[in-house]
């Protein structure tokens, strides 16, 4: 399960936070129930979060009756700049009925949504009122699993084939991004971005749509940051740094995004070395180039041009082209090889001529 919470800030804006890593979990308050109260699963995690599922029983069925979710906006780390402080609790009626002595299974994604909280659940497997402590072998499937006669668009428990091949994607649209500070534009980037993600042996290819992508960032004396985000991308950070005080390069990439199954994919690598160019210039690579962040995540770039430092009047400086673009490099190689061959021929001819002329003289 994961949770997305929307909250108001002191600046009258709305921010969101997604809780997918529950961290250390406790189960205080969980009970098998008694004659008056049904079973209850109570879960506590992170700082001030709690989740409770209550079960009830009828003559031949039992129900997942309700779910409660609580969080504390006084936690400044999780809810920075929150306007209202305190514990907030949401109660949702579920009322899913399951035959007694059967396991309830729901592999498909289920969502409970209130005004401020979105709760996502998948791979659910639960049985309440277990007779004599013996778990049933008979399963009761949720409606979404029962109606899935073909491949479901959201896959959670099916073991993927190791030979799964991502669907080929067309070239992504080119986006123009910029970052400004008090002195004007300090970072420029133009590029088409294609994300290649592998998780649980399943590969997916995602093109970033610039028209639905927001961007922010920051510029400092030695580093610069470009951050992209959208409805599915929590953040995609490109971190630039200086090298030897006279060059810049892409030092790190950090991504956190939602996948189709509701899980969060997060990868960070701050030891990269891409897009190297002299300070005062821009880096350009029109052909497709791959930034390998990890074995599970690569970024393909198209029509790339970046300048994270020394931007003048909001315009790119002279570009240093990548080797993939520099087709003319063959010309100097051919010319150099030709000159080298000519020099060798001249030297050989000189040595032969010198030997013949030297052989005609006698020592006095």
Q: pLDDT tens-digit profile of 211-222?
A: 999 999 999 888
The answer to whether 286 touches 325, Cβ cutoff 8 Å, is yes
Average pLDDT, the chain: 84
* Neighbouring residues of 146: CB distance < 8 A, sequence distance ≥ 6: none
Q: How confident is the model at residue 355 (pLDDT cuts 50, 70, 90)?
A: low
pLDDT at 312 over 80: yes
Using only C-alpha atoms, what is the Rg of the chain? 31
Q: Which of the two residues, 183 and 71, has the higher pLDDT score?
A: 71
pLDDT at 350 over 80: no
pLDDT at 284 over 90: yes
pLDDT at residue 175 in the model: 96
Q: How confident is the model at residue 149 (pLDDT cuts 50, 70, 90)?
A: very low
Token pair, residue 204, equals 């997916």
Q: How confident is the model at residue 255 (pLDDT cuts 50, 70, 90)?
A: very high
Q: How far apart are CA 303 and CA 284, in angstroms?
A: 8
pLDDT at residue 153 in the model: 38
pLDDT at residue 91 in the model: 87
Q: How far apart are CA 254 and CA 212, in angstroms?
A: 20
pLDDT at residue 154 in the model: 35
Q: Which of the two residues, 17 and 300, has the higher pLDDT score?
A: 300
Share of the chain above pLDDT 70, in %: 87
pLDDT at residue 279 in the model: 94
Share of the chain above pLDDT 90, in %: 45
Q: SS3 sequence, the chain?
A: CEEEEEEEECCCCEEEEEECCCCCEECCCCECCCCCCCCEEEEEECCCEEEEEEEEECCCEEEEEEEEEEEECCCCCCCCCECCCCEEEEEEEEEEEEECCCEEEECCCEEEECCCEEEEECCEEECCCCHHHCCCCCEEECHHHHCCCCCCCCCCCCCCCCCCCCCCCCCCCEEEEEEEECCEEEEEEEEEEEEEEEECCEEEEEECCHHHCEEEEEECCCEEEEEEECCCEEEEEEEEEEECCCEEEEEEEEEEEECCCCCEEEEEECCCCEEEEECCCEEEECCCEEEEEECCEEEEEEEEEEECCCCECCECCCEEECCCCCHHHHHHHHHHHHHHHHHHHHHHHHHHHHHHHHCCCCCC
pLDDT at 254 over 90: yes
Overall average pLDDT of the 54-63 stretch = 90
Report all structural domains of the chain as residue ranges with CATH numbers, in order of start.
2-145 (2.40.160.110), 174-325 (2.40.160.110)
pLDDT at 103 over 50: yes
pLDDT at residue 160 in the model: 40
3-class secondary structure, 75: coil
pLDDT at residue 360 in the model: 54
Q: Which of the two residues, 66 and 263, has the higher pLDDT score?
A: 66
pLDDT at 358 over 80: no
Overall average pLDDT of the 64-71 stretch = 91
Token pair, residue 253, equals 């990439």
* Neighbouring residues of 43: CB distance < 8 A, sequence distance ≥ 6: 22, 25, 26, 27, 30, 50, 51, 52
Overall average pLDDT of the 298-317 stretch = 95
pLDDT at residue 333 in the model: 63
Token pair, residue 102, equals 């059967």
pLDDT at 61 over 70: yes
pLDDT at residue 328 in the model: 53
Q: Which of the two residues, 26 and 333, has the higher pLDDT score?
A: 26
Overall average pLDDT of the 61-67 stretch = 90
The answer to whether 78 touches 47, Cβ cutoff 8 Å, is yes
Overall average pLDDT of the 275-281 stretch = 94
Could you report the per-residue pLDDT of 150-207, keeping only the tens digit for each?
Answer: 333 333 333 344 444 444 468 899 999 999 988 899 999 999 999 999 887 788 899 9
pLDDT at 102 over 60: yes
pLDDT at residue 325 in the model: 59
pLDDT at residue 127 in the model: 92
Overall average pLDDT of the 317-334 stretch = 70
Q: How far apart are CA 68 and CA 174, in angstroms?
A: 44
């Amino acid at each position: 399960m994961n949770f997305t919470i929307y909250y108001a800030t002191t600046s009258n804006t709305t921010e969101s936070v997604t809780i997918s890593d529950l961290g250390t979990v406790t189960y205080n308050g969980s009970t098998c129930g008694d004659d008056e109260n049904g079973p209850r699963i109570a879960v506590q995690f992170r700082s001030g979060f709690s989740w409770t599922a209550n079960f009830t029983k009828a003559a031949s069925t039992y129900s997942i009756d309700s779910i409660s979710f609580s969080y504390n906006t006084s936690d400044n780390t999780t809810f920075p700049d929150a306007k209202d402080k305190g514990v907030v609790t949401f109660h949702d009626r579920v009322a899913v009925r399951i035959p007694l002595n059967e396991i309830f299974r729901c592999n498909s994604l289920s969502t409970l949504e209130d005004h401020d909280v979105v709760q996502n659940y998948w791979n659910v497997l639960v049985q309440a009122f277990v007779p004599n402590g013996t778990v049933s072998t008979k399963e009761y499937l949720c409606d979404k699993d029962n109606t899935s006669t073909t491949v479901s668009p959201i896959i959670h428990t099916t073991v993927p084939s190791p030979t799964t091949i991502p669907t080929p994607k067309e070239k992504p649209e080119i986006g123009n991004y910029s970052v400004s500070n008090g002195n004007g534009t300090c970072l420029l980037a133009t590029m088409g971005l294609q994300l290649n993600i592998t998780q649980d042996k399943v590969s997916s290819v995602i093109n970033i749509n610039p028209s639905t992508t927001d961007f922010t960032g920051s510029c400092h004396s030695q580093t610069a940051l470009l951050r992209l985000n959208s409805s599915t991308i929590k953040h995609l950070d490109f971190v630039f740094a200086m090298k030897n005080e006279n060059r810049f390069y892409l030092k790190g990439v950090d991504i956190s995004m939602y996948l189709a199954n509701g899980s969060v994919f997060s990868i960070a690598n701050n030891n990269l070395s891409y897009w190297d160019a002299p300070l005062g210039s821009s880096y350009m690579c029109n052909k497709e180039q791959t930034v390998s962040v990890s074995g599970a995540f690569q970024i393909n770039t198209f029509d790339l041009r970046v300048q994270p430092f020394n931007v003048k009047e909001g315009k790119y400086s002279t570009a240093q082209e990548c080797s993939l673009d520099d087709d003319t490099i063959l010309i100097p190689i051919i010319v150099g090889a030709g000159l080298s061959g000519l020099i060798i021929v001249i030297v050989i001819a000189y040595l032969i001529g010198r030997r013949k002329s030297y052989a005609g003289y006698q020592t006095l």
